[in-house]
Each structure stands twice: as C-alpha cells, then as structure tokens.
Amino acid sequence: MRLSVKGTALASGLIWGGGILVLGLLHSAKPSYGGKFLEGMSSVYPGLHGGRSVRDAVIGGGYALADGATAGMLFAWLYNQAAARAA
C-alpha cells in the first residue's frame, strides 16, 4: 500500500497549522493558556513571537502549515520508499 504524498502533506499541514493557529487564538483570548508552548515555538518559527495578537497567531499558523506539509510529504515519501523495498 502506498501513501498519497500530496494527501499526506495536505493533512499534516492542516492539522499542525490549524493546531498552532487555534492555540494562538486561544492564547489571545486567555493569556494564561499555552504561553510557554508558544514561547518555545517562537524559537522555531521566526514570525511567531509568542505574543497575544491575532496577527501572531496567523503568522504562526502559516509557518506551521508549511512545516507540517513538508514533514507530511517527507514522511509519505520515506514510507513509500520503505514499502517498495520491503515488497
């Protein structure tokens, strides 16, 4: 069985990007929620400053979308390579 590289990339990007976006929006509404995690993520994503603005949440979500899609694409490609060798 082969994985769809495009499908896996899209799903991974939407899950990770959506998660960071929602967490950033929740942090905007309630500053005590997710602050430490967002501070950690700000060291990975240069546009995400761990701030409490909607703009930071959207920027972080965009970076996470690209990051998640890249990781999903790489995962699906590696899986397909390993599955082909095992067959």
pLDDT the model gives residue 53: 85
Structure tokens at 32: 């005590």
| Burial status of residue 46 (CB atoms within 10 A of its CB: 0-12, 13-18, 19 or more) | exposed
What is the C-alpha to C-alpha distance for residues 76 and 2, in angstroms, rounded to an integer? 8
Q: Who contacts 7 (Cβ-Cβ below 8 Å, separation ≥6)?
A: 76
Domain that includes residue 22, residue range: 5-86
Q: How many CB atoms lie within 10 A of CB 1?
A: 6
Say how many domains are in the chain: 1
Residues of the chain scoring pLDDT < 70: 50-51
pLDDT the model gives residue 45: 85
pLDDT the model gives residue 51: 67
